[in-house]
A and B are shown apart, each in its own frame.
Chain A
Amino acid sequence: ILNVEQSPQSLHVQEGDSTNFTCSFPSSNFYALHWYRWETAKSPEALFVMTLNGDEKKKGRISATLNTKEGYSYLYIKGSQPEDSATYLCAFLTGTASKLTFGTGTRLQVTL
Chain B
Amino acid sequence: DGGITQSPKYLFRKEGQNVTLSCEQNLNHDAMYWYRQDPGQGLRLIYYSQIVNDFQKGDIAEGYSVSREKKESFPLTVTSAQKNPTAFYLCASSIGSGSPNEQYFGPGTRLTVT
Contact = CB atoms under 8 A, between A and B. Distances in A.
Query: Chain B contact residues: over half helix, strand or loop, or mixed?
Result: loop
Contacts of B50: 98
A38 B105 CA distance: 10
Contacts of B4: 43
Interface stretch (A13-21, A78-86, A102-110): A102-110
A4 interface: yes
Contacts of B59: 1
A4 B100 contact: no
A98 B48 contact: yes
A34 B107 CA distance: 19
Q: How many of chain A's residues touch chain B, expressed as a range? A: 20 to 34
A103 B42 contact: yes
State which size class the interface on B falls in: 20 to 34
A44 interface: yes
B41 A100 contact: no
Interface of A: 1, 4, 31-32, 34, 42-46, 49, 51, 89, 91, 93, 98-105
Interface of B: 4, 31, 33, 35, 40-45, 48, 50, 56, 58-59, 90, 97-98, 100-108
Given A1-B59, A42-B107, A98-B97, 13 more contacts: A43-B4, A43-B106, A44-B90, A46-B104, A51-B100, A93-B100, A99-B45, A99-B58, A102-B43, A102-B44, A104-B40, A104-B41, A104-B42
7 tightest Cβ-Cβ pairs between the two chains A and B: A32-B100, A46-B102, A98-B97, A102-B42, A43-B105, A102-B43, A104-B42
